[in-house]
Amino acid sequence: MNRPVGIETEYGLNCEGFAGPPDFAFESAMLIHAAPLPVAFRGWDYTDEDPRRDLRGTRVDALKHDPNDHLGSTAQSSRMTREELLADTVLLNGARLYNDHNHPEYCTDACRTVLDLVAQDRAGEALMHEAEKAHNERLDGGRVRLVKNNTDYHGRSYGCHENYLTLREVPLDHLVEALVPFLATRQVFAGAGRVGIEGGDAGALQLSQRADFFETVVGINTTTRRPIFNTRDEPHADRTRYRRLHVIAGDANRSEWATGMKAATTALVLDAVEAGWRAPIRLRDPVAAVQQVSHDLTLGAGIELDDGLNVSPLDIQRWWLSACERFRGRDAETDWVLDEWDQVLTELRADPAAVADRVDWAAKLVLLRDLGPAPEAARRLDFAYHLLDPSLSVHQWLTDRGRMRTLVTPAQVEEARTTPPSGTRATVRGRLLAKFGPAITAMEWDRVHLHRNGVNVTVRLPEVAGPEIDRLSALVEKCATIDDVVAALDAEGG
């Protein structure tokens, strides 16, 4: 990928056997606290964060929240401090783990390659399952199961968001024009699949877990009035040069191939826009199109364009693929992504069952065709597909039998649990934590605060990757003490 990319995943909590109504905020926080982490930093620096700042140059007074998120018991969580409830944790691999809207959330640090991103995301799954087991061992009655999906089947949705570093000099409307049709149709290969339609057929399979929950085209909110194109302006980098494109219009995939491809194809589209390409079409009603695409398993229904023409989602994806072909030959990874993109669109047009080894919704389609269950059984199968516990997960069952394509090995996933993505500032943050963890007083994506002999020291990381990060990484690696770090920075004018 030609830019740093990260994924943040909110996990669903399924609470079973509790004596009374579960306190989801409490269970989420306590699950994170239970995570077996021999080395980690507990805390987070919120000083410079401002989720109300909008890419359109304004700042909203308040963000809208789904009122359903705040329903339920607070018997235990109301007695927790803010720090206990948030459970902010920074890991050796640079990832962040915390309690977000009553969901344990795992955020990978920025990655520069598809395989790094997939390995870091899978490392999050492995850690979250260990936290689930550790938390359940502490419970006196009841059990919590983690689900990597996007709906509780009762009208609430939680997100899997992608983050892409982009150049601020690119006009915002160019990004919106290109990303809205792309994201509306990307679900043909990146949709995780869902049994049930909000307010409709409870037993119908659709492509996406999230499609029914989008209500507007462009906006800053994330938990209600969800937009296809999110305008939160928190770059976590040099804001004079960069934006962080915060993509919320995507599913939590179990397929490694789908995780990698949804990010890599989006990164290529951003490459095209930064190279001057302009989207050739506009959708007449993008919100309706998102849901229309998700509900149409034939993939053939026409989406109405502004000029009155009707085109299929596969055709739109073909146009975007053609725009990105200009990057063929840039490197082996780019060529792999372009080849896979072309192949999946060809096979989807012929028979979606042909891509059941890599597309989550197609894997579910084949299972449901083979088993022919009633709606309630179909929903149970859908739910079980996303369970993290490998002994219960339908996705893991398929993988163990060679029916799902993988991109990384178990050894690579294990390494990613303690090793940051290569070539990014995560390596600096990870090494500082590993070597000088007790001296760290605060951390954020772009800085680390340390306390040295009564003096506070801040290592700032405004760049996500590049020569400056390589220099700092080498500097930290060779230093044995904090004094060495400070002396080396002073010597280099850092």
Which tokens hold the place of 127? Answer: 């850690």
Apex 99 CA angle, 95 and 100, nearest 5: 100
> Could you tell me which residues come within 8 angstroms of residue 248 by beta carbon, excluding any fewer than 6 positions away?
159, 161, 222, 226, 227, 230
Residue 61 carries which side chain, given as an amino acid letter?
A: D
Question: Contact at 8 Å (CB) between 13 and 144?
Answer: yes
- The b-or-e profile of 286-305 (16+ CB within 10 A means b, else e) is bbebbbbbbbbbebeeebeb
Q: How many CA atoms lie within 13 A of 482 on its CB side?
A: 20
Q: How far apart are CA 198 and CA 252, in angstroms?
A: 18
Q: Which SS3 state, helix, strand or coil, does residue 41 take?
A: strand
Which tokens hold the place of 305? Answer: 């364009």
Q: How far apart are CA 464 and CA 105, in angstroms?
A: 22
Beta strand pairing status for 12-16 and 303-304?
unpaired
Apex 290 CA angle, 367 and 354, nearest 5: 30
Q: Which SS3 state, helix, strand or coil, does residue 99 take?
A: strand
Q: Which SS3 state, helix, strand or coil, does residue 249 take?
A: coil
Question: Contact at 8 Å (CB) between 232 and 54?
Answer: yes
> Could you tell me which residues come within 8 angstroms of residue 141 by beta carbon, excluding any fewer than 6 positions away?
17, 18, 19
CA distances to 15, 93, 263 from 434, in Å: 35, 10, 29
Which tokens hold the place of 452? Answer: 């040295």
Q: Which SS3 state, helix, strand or coil, does residue 318 take?
A: helix
Which tokens hold the place of 392? Answer: 């219960």
User: Annotated active-site positions, please?
Assistant: 100
CA distances to 90, 105, 230, 333 from 62, in Å: 27, 22, 15, 41
